[in-house]
Amino acid sequence: MEHPLFALRAGDRKVRHYQHNGTTVEVRPGIKGLATIHDKDVWIYCISQLIEAINRGYDNVSRTVRFIAYDFLITTNRRTDGDSYKRMGESLERLSESRVVTNIETENKRERAGFGLIDSWHVVERDGDNRMVAVEVTLPEWLYRSVTAKHVLTLSRDYFRLRKPLDRRIYELARKHCGNQAKWRVKMSTLHTKSGSQDKLYKFRAAMKVLAGTNELPDYRMTIDTNNDMVIFYARRAKGGRAQMHDMLNSDP
């Protein structure tokens, strides 16, 4: 994504405005704040289910995805206790309440359109403890079209092991811009803007130095060019392949 649609902190109620090449995007949080990058795991999981169905040649693939809550929690490296099911429900609420308003060009005309990060969600089945068992999520139409066009990138299996929201966002940007290239150089200030971080640049710079020092970023190694205030990502090209998890890292609404 060119613009960060997801918050890095829970409870973020800031309205975001972006503009790029004549396209404007406004991201509006819901009552419980903007959907976070951890809430985005629902997106990633649903997209993966769609891609798998498409690859298997199923004819009844739609933008409504039904899945087992337990499978989602396991796949996304979450615990399976009661609090985890509760937080999953809160994620679904934030995703449906967060809104994106943008101007879309159709037939050489600019039109404004608005949509939620998911159109709707529904608990299909609950267990004896009233925890959700099966869930249905309906993705927005533009996201579904991007999935069926296979405008997606695979993610590392270790993506869900990144607990810090900023680390996840940095991985997404490296995956999008570096891709399969040997390296990607970017100005620290540009990376700060693309990340969606609300911290001051000096705090962001310190966080990037820590992340580079840990060497924990999947698929990529980071170095900091302090003389030019640049960040350089190098592809690790490790063996073993990637998980069959997908994200809209190279598509825009």
First-to-last C-alpha distance (Å) of the chain: 8
Local structure of 153: helix, strand or coil: strand
Short-list 136, 141, 143, CA closest to 121? 136
Residue 72 DSSP label:
H
Extract the tokens encoding 66: 């039904």
Question: How much is the pLDDT for 243?
Answer: 42
In this structure, the number of other CB atoms found within 10 A of the CB of residue 131 comes to 18
- % of residues, the chain, pLDDT over 70: 90
Taking the model in full, what pTM does it have?
0.86
Extract the tokens encoding 225: 């060019």
**Going edge to edge, which strands form the sheet with 220-225?**
183-187, 230-235, 220-225
Q: How confident is the model at residue 111 (pLDDT cuts 50, 70, 90)?
A: low
| Residue range 49-54: mean pLDDT, rounded | 92
Half-sphere exposure of 169 (CA within 13 A, CB side): 27
Unique residue bearing structure tokens 């997801």: 6
Question: How much is the pLDDT for 26?
Answer: 92
Amino acid type, 220: Y
Question: How much is the pLDDT for 69?
Answer: 96
Q: Is 154 left (phi over 0), alpha (psi -120 to 50) or beta?
A: beta
Local structure of 178: helix, strand or coil: coil
Q: Are 8 and 197 in contact (CB under 8 A)?
A: yes
The answer to which of 71-75, 99-103, 117-121, 162-166 has the lowest mean pLDDT is 99-103
Sequence-distant (≥ 6) Cβ neighbours of residue 246 within 8 angstroms: 44, 47, 48, 51, 147, 152, 153, 154, 155
The DSSP-derived string for 207-234 is HHHHHHHHT--TTEEEEEETTTTEEEEE
In this structure, the number of other CB atoms found within 10 A of the CB of residue 107 comes to 5
pLDDT above 80: residue 209: yes
CA pair distance 95, 42, nearest whole angstrom: 9
pLDDT above 70: residue 240: no
Unique residue bearing structure tokens 């933008």: 63
pLDDT in tens, 112-155: 788 899 999 999 988 888 889 999 999 998 889 888 888 888 88
Give me the chain's average pLDDT, please. Answer: 88
pLDDT in tens, 155-172: 888 999 999 999 999 999
Question: How much is the pLDDT for 104?
Answer: 67
Half-sphere exposure of 151 (CA within 13 A, CB side): 13
The stretches of the chain forming alpha helices (DSSP H) are 40-55, 69-75, 82-97, 141-148, 165-177, 188-195, 201-214
Question: How much is the pLDDT for 171?
Answer: 95
Short-list 165, 139, 162, 163, CA closest to 251? 139
pLDDT above 60: residue 249: no
Question: How much is the pLDDT for 242?
Answer: 44
| Residue range 225-252: mean pLDDT, rounded | 68
- Which phi and psi (to 5°) does residue 198 adopt? -95, 0
The answer to which of 3-7, 132-136, 203-207 has the lowest mean pLDDT is 3-7
Higher pLDDT, 161 or 238: 161
Q: Which domains does the chain show, CATH number per domain?
A: 16-151 (1.10.10), 158-235 (1.10.10)
